[in-house]
Amino acid sequence: MRIRREIICGLFLLIFVTAIPLFVFGSEGGSSAEHINLGEVLPIWSCIPFACMLLSIALLPLLTPNIWHHHFGKISAFWALSIAVPFVIAYHGLAMHQILHIIIADYIPFIILLWSLYTISGGILLRGTLVGTPAVNTGMLLIGTLLASWMGTTGAAMLMIRPFLRANSHRKNRTFMVVFFIFLIANVGGALTPLGDPPLFLGFLHGVPFFWTFNILPHMLLVAGLLLTCYFFMDTYHYRREKPAAADPMEKVPLKLEGKHNFLFLLGVVLSVLMSGMVDWGEISTLGVHRSVQDWARDGLLIVMGILSMATTSITVREDNQFTWAPILEVAYLFIGIFITMIPCLLILKAGGKGALAFLINSVQQPAHYFWSTGLLSAFLDNAPTYLTFFNTALGSFYASLPEAEAVPRLIAENPVFLKAISAGSVFFGACSYIGNAPNFMVRSIAEEAGTPMPSFFGYIIKYTLVFLIPSFVIVTLVFF
């Protein structure tokens, strides 16, 4: 109880410290608060609640596992309120609009997409004997990597993770396998089409041709090749050490796929997402937030696909698939806190050279700068607005006087290396942390629920990101940027 009281007191103290700059800047805005650009006036320390949210995810499961396990939803809500309350008091309707916008336009579609893919993929069961040898595992990672660009990193990850875990249920050292799964299937594999990852879809909406992203195929092949090679040798090493236990005789059962009709629903999800970017049915306002009609239609179709999957799939299939709602609920609770505390960070980033991160935006000059700046921010912030920020920075640097419809084709024709750097950075670096891309945390939750121990937030970064990803990205920089 004493530890809990100390934690609560510390959290309230941090809220008070965080609220001070917001109140100060809010009072300076006075009656004109509704007419200011928030990204230009918010101080860098308004991002403290976001940092605290990340630290909570990183440290509390280690320091106070019982409190975290039973109260992570309350902790997430606490940090969300720690920014929302002073933010609204300081900036009134302008702040409320930003909060409603990120919930309605970003968080709700995000959760609907994850829920539909999680629900549908949970109805696909691979029965039979599939033994996770180094060759089989590497092949599964390769297949998932190739699928990710066409059904999205989230779709491919949700489809492949359960068969991958079952194939390796007899293995002792499974942690590194899931980490490389996150690296390849949940991130790097989504680099080839706008369907693969949200930032590339944003680029498509802003005039980048659908198949242009195949220009970063060499970059993807290099990173994927390096990671798959590292994985194969690591898996081979551990497999040989575990071989007596792994080679226990078992009755071989032919592979059989059940719930195959769910692939139709997966196709429906992909087509719904693609449709939302190709048609224009106008806009409607919800609580003052303007969203395209086709986006609402897409969200409705995704919900229908998920409901149809639940209605048409045998309960036995889901039970044998060890399907529960716990992972999606954990993601929903944690990411509402992440999305709301992220608001000041995104606003400052969108302000470009006029915001508190002007020193970073103005220092980005070379392709390598774009690759690493876009990437490092995408590792911890939403990679979609990060992509758009540096995309617009590149357009402004080369074609400031031209409208976007003219500037984008010229950027592609005359300076494509900059767009390649932005695209590759926003996709690849999502693998650097659990919150870097939507499916990362989901894969971690499913793996832990299935009995696979996963590294902590910082453990993931120190043991795997710094050892495998960063050297790979350095090589990419030297070869291409």
pLDDT tens digit string along 327-385? 888 888 988 888 899 888 878 877 777 777 778 777 888 999 999 999 998 888 767 77
Of 60, 82, 97, the residue at which a domain comes to its end is: 97
pLDDT cut 90: percent of the chain above it? 30
For residues 289-311, give the mean pLDDT: 91
pTM: 0.80
Of 79, 97, 115, the residue at which a domain comes to its end is: 97
Average pLDDT, the chain: 83
Shared domain check, 234 and 85: no
Distance CA 328, CA 113 (A): 11
On whether residue 115 sits in a domain, the answer given is: no
Shared domain check, 190 and 140: yes
* pLDDT level of residue 477 (50, 70, 90 thresholds): very high
Shared domain check, 213 and 161: yes
Domain count, the chain: 2
Shared domain check, 36 and 135: no
On whether residue 369 sits in a domain, the answer given is: yes
Shared domain check, 177 and 84: no
User: What confidence score (pLDDT) does residue 393 get?
Assistant: 81
pLDDT at 11 over 60: no
For residues 15-35, give the mean pLDDT: 45
pLDDT at 32 over 50: no
Shared domain check, 249 and 317: yes
Q: Which domain holds residue 251?
A: 123-259+313-322+364-480
* Lowest-confidence segment of 148-152, 153-157, 205-209, 331-335 by average pLDDT: 205-209
Shared domain check, 49 and 14: yes
pLDDT at 18 over 60: no
On whether residue 127 sits in a domain, the answer given is: yes
Query: Going by DSSP bridges, is the β-strand pair 256-258/125-127 parallel, antiparallel, or unpaired?
Result: antiparallel
Q: What Rg value do the Cα atoms of the chain yield, rounded?
A: 23
Which of 281, 198, 184 minimizes the C-alpha distance to 230?
Answer: 184
User: What confidence score (pLDDT) does residue 469 get?
Assistant: 94
Helix axes 367-378, 416-428, angle to 10 degrees: 20
On whether residue 87 sits in a domain, the answer given is: yes
On whether residue 283 sits in a domain, the answer given is: no
User: What confidence score (pLDDT) does residue 236 get?
Assistant: 93
On whether residue 394 sits in a domain, the answer given is: yes
Three-state SS string over the chain comes to CHHHHHHHHHHHHHHHHHHHHHHHHHHHHHHHHHHCCHHHHCCHHHHHHHHHHHHHHHHHHHHCHHHHHHHHHHHHHHHHHHHHHHHHHHHHHHHHHHHHHHHHHHHHHHHHHHHHHHHHHCCCEEECCCCCCHHHHHHHHHHHHHHHHHHHHHHHHHHHHHHHHHHCCCCCCCHHHHHHHHHHCCCHHHHCCCCCCHHHHHHHHCCCCHHHHHHHHHHHHHHHHHHHHHHHHHHHHHHHHHHHHHCCCCCCCCCEEECCCHHHHHHHHHHHHHHHCCCCCCEEEECCEEEEHHHHHHHHHHHHHHHHHHHHCCHHHHHHCCCCCHHHHHHHHHHHHHHHHCHHHHHHHHCHHHCCCHHHHHHCCCHHHHHHHHHHHHCCCCHHHHHHHHHHHHHHHHHCCCCHHHHHHHHHHHCHHHHHHHHHHHHHHHHHCCCCCHHHHHHHHHHHHCCCCCCCHHHHHHHHHHHHHHHHHHHHHHHHC
Shared domain check, 67 and 143: no
Shared domain check, 142 and 77: no
On whether residue 301 sits in a domain, the answer given is: no
User: What confidence score (pLDDT) does residue 35 get?
Assistant: 63
- 13 or 290, which is more confident? 290
Of 80, 97, 114, the residue at which a domain comes to its end is: 97
* pLDDT level of residue 29 (50, 70, 90 thresholds): very low
On whether residue 149 sits in a domain, the answer given is: yes
Which of 161, 122, 130 minimizes the C-alpha distance to 144?
Answer: 161
Shared domain check, 472 and 396: yes
Name every residue whose Cβ is closer than 8 Å to that of residue 250 and which is 6 or more positions away in sequence: 129
User: What confidence score (pLDDT) does residue 307 get?
Assistant: 94
* pLDDT level of residue 31 (50, 70, 90 thresholds): very low
Shared domain check, 248 and 138: yes
pLDDT at 215 over 90: yes
User: What confidence score (pLDDT) does residue 251 get?
Assistant: 62
User: To the nearest 10°, the Cα dihedral for 476, 231, 323, 124?
Assistant: 80
pLDDT in tens, 185-209: 999 999 998 878 888 887 887 778 8
Shared domain check, 317 and 214: yes
Burial of 468 per CB tally in 10 Å (0-12, 13-18, 19+): buried
How many Cα atoms sit within 13 Å of 170 on the Cβ side? 16
Please give the structure tokens belonging to residue 416. 């494509």
